[in-house]
Amino acid sequence: QTQCRAWQRQVDLERPGILPICRALQAALPQDTMIFSDMTQFAYLAKEIWPMSKPGHWHHPTGFGTLGYALPAAIGGAIG
């Protein structure tokens, strides 16, 4: 949590606007929401500063991923 707070302070200074968006989304979503993201600048940053209540609730492609992962992954997550 200490590292996450440090990241948040740094992000707020370097990229104003992203932290308020993350906080607004987090306030609007249930705490146990599973998040699926694509390889975007917002997701790279948000997944690092967004405190999750449980491990395994943020799903993000790694390696040689590309755009297009999030939608089918979210559908799969929704049906189990």
> Are 59 and 37 a contacting pair, CB within 8 Å?
yes
**Tens-digit pLDDT profile for the chain (80 aa)?**
787 778 788 888 888 888 889 889 999 999 889 999 999 988 988 888 888 888 889 999 988 777 999 999 999 999 98
Q: What local confidence, expressed as pLDDT, does residue 32 receive?
A: 87
Cα–Cα distance for residue pair 56/8, rounded to 1 Å: 21
**What is the torsion angle, in degrees rounded to the nearest 10, for the CA atoms of residue 6, residue 12, residue 14 and residue 18?**
120
Total number of domains constituting the chain: 1
38-41 long-range CB contacts below 8 Å, 24 or more apart? 38/65, 38/67, 38/68, 38/69, 38/70, 39/65, 39/66, 39/67, 39/69, 40/67
Q: Domain of residue 16: give its range.
A: 2-79
